[in-house]
Structures are given as C-alpha cells and as structure tokens.
A = this chain, B = another copy of it.
C-alpha cells in the first residue's frame, strides 16, 4: 500500500483511518519524551559505583605525589590524561582534562580564538568579517549554536554514508580564507550514526586550508558507544594529520557524559603542541585547576581504557533493545507505505529520520499535541532551518522501553498522517 501508488480516494480512506487512530492516541493523555540524548536511569545506575569509589578513608594522593584535594595540575592528572589519550588515540601529553563538559571545552576553544589568534600572524576571529564555519547536516544543534553565538556564517555541508561531502569541504576550505572551522562528530555522528570512512578522514588530514587558522573540531563524543554487535572503526585523524604535516589542523574532544554521569563526568581535549600552547595560555588565566577528585574517581573506577570498554558493553545491553524498538517499528509501519528514510546506526545516541518532504515541522507538532515531545524540526540544521523540512532526530535512550514503544507508535502515525495531509493538500 505504497502511498504514492494509491488513488486519491484510497488516500482519503487511509487518511480517515489514521486520523481516527491519531485522535485515539491523543485522548490517552500521554506525556512522553524522545527529544534529547539523555541516558536513561538504567544506564545511570551502571555507574553508581563511581559514588562509592572515594571515601573519607581514601588516599587522594596522585601518581606525582600531590594531594588531589588541593589546587594545582591545571592540565589534569596524569592518570586521567592517559585514560583520555587512549580514548582519543593520542599520547597523554597531548591531552588536557577539563571540567565535566566537552561542549564547554569546545565553547572555550572557539571563545579563545575569537579574541586571540591560534596561529602566529593571524587575526582573532572577532576581527574576521564574514567569518564562516562549515556545518555537516544533519548535525548537532549545540555545535551550531556556538558558532551562531559568535556570529559565524554557517555553511551546511551535506552528509553522505561516508561522512561530510568532502568535495565541497575541500573546495571551500582550500579556497575560501574566511572559512575558519568545521564541526565534526566523526563516529556514530549526531544524529545519523554515520562513521566517517577512512577515505574521508584521510581527505580531512590532507586539507590545505586557505586560512592558516582553520581548525577541525573533531568531537568524538561517541567513540566507544556501540549499540549493536557490529562495531565500526574510525581512522585516527591525529596520526593521519601527522603524516601530512597537518598536526595543527584537528582539535579532538570527548567526555564521559554518556559513559558515567552527564554533567558530572569528565571531559577532555587533545591538540598539537602549537595549539595547546595557545589554549593553555588562556586556561592559566581562566582557572587554577579543574576537579581532580572527579578525575581520580573515574580513573579508579575504570582502572584503564579497557575497563571503560568493558563498561560500555553494559550500556550496549541496555541500549540495543531501545534502538531495536525504534528501528523495528519504523520498518513495520513506514516501509509498507513508502514514507520516510532513516539510518540504522551501529552506535551513538540517535536515529535520524527523514520524513516526507515538507512535513517535519508538522510531524513534530502532531506528536506534541498527542503528548510525545520530539527534538524540534530543523534543530539538526544551522539556525534551525532544514531546507527540505524533512529531518527529525529521534532519541531513544531516555524513555523506559514500554513508553518508547508507545512514543514511536505515535510518531509513525504522525509521520503517515502528515504525509497524507501533504499529498491530499489538506
């Protein structure tokens, strides 16, 4: 019963039937949320042991003999730099461990470059008129928001199965000196769950930017966040950039927000010595030292990077059924009618659904009226403008499984209903 093959009369009949289903769901007084990429409470419980790991009887003396309860060690404790170095694929001495938020470290990094040049002879970005930033779409709304706040023109770069359209990236970066950066979630991208291909990573490493201070913001937020038994691998961008003599190009970020506790985890970044020098020159004025006791908690809890990988298997066990609920329901409800396309991610936090063109806003509104909160339509595009009004980000992690099933059922009804409204010009 492909909608496109139905007669007007058949469409009307289907519309009437769906409308009844929708009104029925609406009458149930639902209050469900598939909006934000928040871990569910079962996931949070996995890390509760972190709260026991330090006690008044613990030694808080770090590996270098310093009392971690006191000021000091601006770049983070060595044990924790090693942990994040292993996570990001770089030596520990390239790592700075910050507060609890990698988003904050990205914000600080952009903020730094706004008023201080990252490379000698360059202007602070504040003084760069028509400064531009590349934004792979669909992408992460909070990335785009930072460059929006700082007055960048944001250029959408379409995503393919291999990552951002590298022909477009190369053309823009290598020819336009006003292009100063690009946002990347290179593994299990937000929201599509796409892992950049080796070829894509190599092309990033081989960029020859027109602007000397062009930087790749490589937010490896989901680097160990598999949700199926088919884990994907990402080529090491830093190693590739060393090979091309471009080690100043990438700035790497990650955190334990979706490993332990969002907001109460630990965040880190890695960068070349040149980049780190400029950033540390800022950090030394910004703060005396970050929360080393929380770093110590994480180091003690995981032991090492392998311990972290083991921990992630527990998350996978919780998350796989949730992704299955979403994907199976989409398959069952939408494939037969030929409406919608979506990715089937092996990791990350989202399912990215492209609904019938021109109906994403309507789908979100219909869901909202029926008590199912979705991420706003357009949120995955700079300035919230999805030119096709088609992409919706589904976040399956937070609701309990039964609520998630109901929410996706409602979502599918709304996707079909909105498509029929459009086809029937209602």
Residues of A whose CB lies within 8 Å of any CB of B are 36, 38-39, 41, 44, 47-49, 51-52, 54-56, 58, 67-72, 99-101, 103-104, 107-108, 111, 114-115, 126, 142, 145-146, 148-150, 257, 261-264, 282, 285-294
Q: Which of A69, A142, A261, A293 has the most CB of B within 10 A?
A: A69
| Shortest Cβ distance from A150 into B: residue | B115
Q: Is the CB of B71 within 8 A of A38?
A: yes
| Shortest Cβ distance from A293 into B: residue | B264
Q: Is the CB of B52 within 8 A of A56?
A: yes
Q: Is the CB of B288 within 8 A of A71?
A: no
- Output the least CB separation between A151 and chain B (Å): 8
- Output the least CB separation between A217 and chain B (Å): 14
Q: Is the CB of A70 within 8 A of B39?
A: yes
Q: A114 contacts which chain B residues (CB < 8 A)?
A: 114-115
* A264-B69, A291-B263 as given contacts; A142 in contact with B56, CB under 8 Å: no
Q: Is the CB of B261 within 8 A of A36?
A: no
- Output the least CB separation between A292 and chain B (Å): 6
* A44-B70, A145-B285, A288-B262 as given contacts; A54 in contact with B56, CB under 8 Å: no
As for how many copies of this chain the complex holds, the number is 2
Q: Is the CB of B56 within 8 A of A287?
A: no
- Output the least CB separation between A379 and chain B (Å): 14
Q: Is the CB of A291 within 8 A of B293?
A: no
| Shortest Cβ distance from A107 into B: residue | B286
User: Can you list 16 contacts pairing A with B, beta carbon distance less than 8 Å?
Assistant: A51-B293, A52-B55, A52-B56, A68-B264, A69-B262, A69-B264, A70-B261, A70-B263, A101-B290, A107-B285, A111-B111, A263-B292, A263-B293, A264-B293, A264-B294, A291-B291
Q: A44 contacts which chain B residues (CB < 8 A)?
A: 67, 69-70
Q: Is the CB of B70 within 8 A of A288?
A: no
Tell me the bound Cα distance from A70 to B107 in angstroms.
21
Q: Is the CB of B52 within 8 A of A288?
A: no
Q: A111 contacts which chain B residues (CB < 8 A)?
A: 111, 115
Q: Is the CB of B71 within 8 A of A263?
A: yes
Q: A107 contacts which chain B residues (CB < 8 A)?
A: 285-287
